[in-house]
Structure 1
């Protein structure tokens, strides 16, 4: 009779065993922090060349600097002007506001611009050289998302002149 009393206890113990692995404390904490963080995963972007039809259609003429990524052809992926920064993402022109407290670059451009989804920093990695009425330098472009995480980074050539 005493043996029969242990059968329900054994069945209860066996039913509580599971083949699923329980998350470790560190995994559980990381999952909760990620859920509370509210940040989506980093989504890299690929800026497209801003072509003359884009410049004409959106009235982007003016003076400033154009960043051409190394190995990306001859089309500029950034126009940095005194009153705006211009990117082209997924076929759409994106206008960013200048950070007038950032470093001044040639032809009235700025080193930082920001918008609703992205901010960017353009820095010189070489000396600024004058060539006729234009100036050029080697530079680096870093674009960050709304959480200041890099989503694009490239080195390239920056040409500053009337566009």
Structure 2
């Protein structure tokens, strides 16, 4: 007898589900998707944009940052480079401190031993050429339009800028 009652309850529930209108079904699906997305985001902090500062002469001297590679200067950011991309490392200045990025030697090689990808404990960055931008070679110096994109550990963009790249022996 209990089996018959339980079976009848299941049939009533199934009948109730099938009596949903398309709008009710869509709303229920949207709620389910929102719950899954919220569960996936759970534990991720909000995106925290960064504001790289120019790397100055004393930063280069004191940090022993001389060497061949590429410098990136963001459009509208003055003349100071906010990224030094070298063979073994990339360097940015964040919150007044130099942040060292390890080079990804499996990425695209740029002039003067620089690489297109670097990563640190907190960030990953990509330095790319802009295909439709200017490009000039003057002896050992390569100048071209480029873009820097920095992402956080969750692969979310925290900084993006276009600008000028200068690759030379330093």
Q: What is the distance in 1 between the residues matched to 2:87 and 2:114? A: 5
- Which one has the bigger helix percentage? 2
Which residue pairs with 2:7 in the alignment? none
User: Number of aligned pairs?
Assistant: 138
- Matching of residue 149 in structure 1 with residue 149 in structure 2: no
Aligned match of 2:91:
86
Given the superposition, is the C-alpha separation of residues 82 and 26 from structure 1 closer, same or farther in structure 2, using an over 3 Å criterion? same
Deviations 1:9-66 (A, max 9, x none): xxxxxxxxxxxxxxx946972544433xx11111110000000100000000000000
The Cα of 1:131 is off from its aligned counterpart by: 1.3
- TM-score by length of structure 2 reads 0.76
* Structure 2 segments unaligned to the other structure (5+ residues): 1-29
Aligned to 1:162: 169
Are residue 135 (structure 1) and residue 119 (structure 2) matched?
Answer: no
What value does the CA root-mean-square deviation take over the aligned residues?
A: 1.8
* Structure-to-structure mapping, 1:1-163, within 5 angstroms: 25=31, 29=35, 31-35=38-42, 38-125=43-130, 126=133, 128-163=135-170
